[in-house]
Amino acid sequence: MAAEEAGPVGRAPACLCVLCGIPAAGKSTLSAKVLSTAAEHGWRASVVPYDDLIPEQAFQTRGVEAGATMEEMQTEWKLHRQAVLHCIEQFLEKPEVLPELPYSCQINRAAWEQCIQALLQPEALDHSQADRAPLLFLLDDNFYYPSMRYEVYQLARKYSLGFCQVYLQCDLESCISRNQSRSEPIPTEVIVEMVKRLEPPNPQKNSWETNSISLNTTDNLSRCDIQKVMKLISSALSNPLSPIEDNAEQMEADRLKCATSVVHQADQACRRLISEAMTTARDQVPPEHMRCLAAALNRSKATFLQTLRRQLLQEASFTQEEDVDVERVVKRAVDVFDRERKEILLRIMNENK
């Protein structure tokens, strides 16, 4: 196949294929069918199941029991997701060596060893063939935000790998029904919340998502569906991404520009929320305490904006190829301030009853 000739000299062609969709959309079923077909093609293929690799207790013990905030738990989740990609990266560089990870981001070692077993010792290939056989990673997760998928794209660019995405589109009722028939179903409200958050691949908005297809998985997967996926993967293997250029200065400029825009819009939105709070309190809070309320709200706003700017500059990854939805970022950020605003308003109003 043409895919066997792609990739850098001295390394077999490889592809990172993102499977995204809400829980019970059919990602595991699709993975099994693709693995079987990949073996027929003479490819080394493996599923990277995030649910198995990231231990659930990491969020129970370090999150709920420790009294962590939602923001802290999301940061914890992000670190573990990055650790999964670190495992893939380490395998690409040193296949025979298990990755070293920070203690705080331990990945289930047994699950990872199971992931790479078929890649190291493919049953259908002899040793001489295996070294040059195309390599396929099927990343099985919800990947509901573009930023989650973009991290995979960045890894593919770094190592000149193929990159593609398969979005499994399934109606909510079918997913809930499938989930309830599982031995360990997840709460229905989690699936409902995921539907609200999910942002499917959008090639018109994000140029890096061009190599994506959508499958309707409400019904059983057809042979045609599998053929579409294999054609997508084969094309990605034959057309690896160009390596990332050293454009640190441009990235920093993009990051600063985006952060400034987000903070400015968040500031305007916070001012409107403070004005609404002052109007609400005017008939219930004595004039001498209105000044305390205004001061408390403005202090909260200043701290919030300072934290937001720091997070955007230190944690966010903005580049020219990643079209950031500033409006969505602002809304999510301002929702955090809005909760603080309501708490301050309620506290001062209660003090003056």
Last residue of a domain, one of 186, 206, 238: 238
Q: Which of 281, 270, 291 is nearest to 347 (CA)?
A: 281
**Residue whose pair of structure tokens reads 């916070």 in the numeric block:** 270
> Based on the domain organization, do 218 and 295 belong to the same domain?
no
Neighbouring CB atoms inside 10 A of 350's CB total 8
Q: 3-state class of 138 per DSSP?
A: strand
Whether 29 maps to a domain, the answer reads yes
> Based on the domain organization, do 22 and 168 belong to the same domain?
yes
Instruction: Please give the pLDDT value at position 229.
Output: 96
Contacting residues for 28 by C-beta, under 8 A, at least 6 apart:
47, 49, 140
Residue 222 has φ and ψ, to the nearest 5°, of -95, 165
Instruction: Please give the pLDDT value at position 74.
Output: 55
Instruction: Please give the pLDDT value at position 136.
Output: 95
Instruction: Please give the pLDDT value at position 321.
Output: 43
**Residue whose pair of structure tokens reads 């599998």 in the numeric block:** 226
Whether 243 maps to a domain, the answer reads no
Q: Which two tokens stand for residue 325?
A: 């939805």
> Based on the domain organization, do 308 and 175 belong to the same domain?
no
CA distances from 318 to 127, 169, 259, 315 (A): 42, 28, 9, 10
Instruction: Please give the pLDDT value at position 259.
Output: 79
Contact between 167 and 227 (Cβ < 8 Å): no
Distance CA 25, CA 336 (A): 31
Whether 274 maps to a domain, the answer reads yes
Last residue of a domain, one of 238, 260, 277: 238
The structure's pTM equals: 0.67
> Based on the domain organization, do 302 and 198 belong to the same domain?
no
> Based on the domain organization, do 271 and 176 belong to the same domain?
no
> Based on the domain organization, do 39 and 163 belong to the same domain?
yes
> Based on the domain organization, do 97 and 199 belong to the same domain?
yes
Residue 167 has φ and ψ, to the nearest 5°, of -100, 120
**Residue whose pair of structure tokens reads 């995979």 in the numeric block:** 152
| Residue range(s) defining the domain that contains residue 319 | 248-351
> Based on the domain organization, do 199 and 276 belong to the same domain?
no
> Based on the domain organization, do 124 and 19 belong to the same domain?
yes
> Based on the domain organization, do 39 and 169 belong to the same domain?
yes
Last residue of a domain, one of 238, 273, 298: 238
Going residue by residue through the chain, which has 353 residues, state the pLDDT in tens, using 9 for 90 and above: 455 444 444 578 999 999 999 999 999 999 999 999 999 998 999 999 998 888 766 544 333 334 444 444 455 667 788 889 988 998 988 887 666 655 545 688 888 888 888 787 666 555 556 667 899 999 999 998 888 899 999 999 999 999 999 999 999 999 999 999 988 888 999 899 888 889 999 998 888 999 999 999 998 899 999 999 999 999 999 999 988 655 566 666 667 777 788 888 889 899 999 999 898 888 888 887 888 888 889 999 988 888 888 887 765 554 444 455 677 778 888 888 888 888 888 888 887 76
For the chain, give the number of residues: 353
Q: Which two tokens stand for residue 279?
A: 């109007």
> Based on the domain organization, do 179 and 320 belong to the same domain?
no
Q: 3-state class of 69 per DSSP?
A: coil
**Residue 186, Cα to own-chain centre: how many angstroms?**
19
What is the count of structural domains for the chain? 2
> Based on the domain organization, do 347 and 202 belong to the same domain?
no
CATH number of domain containing 90: 3.40.50.300
Distance CA 348, CA 353 (A): 9
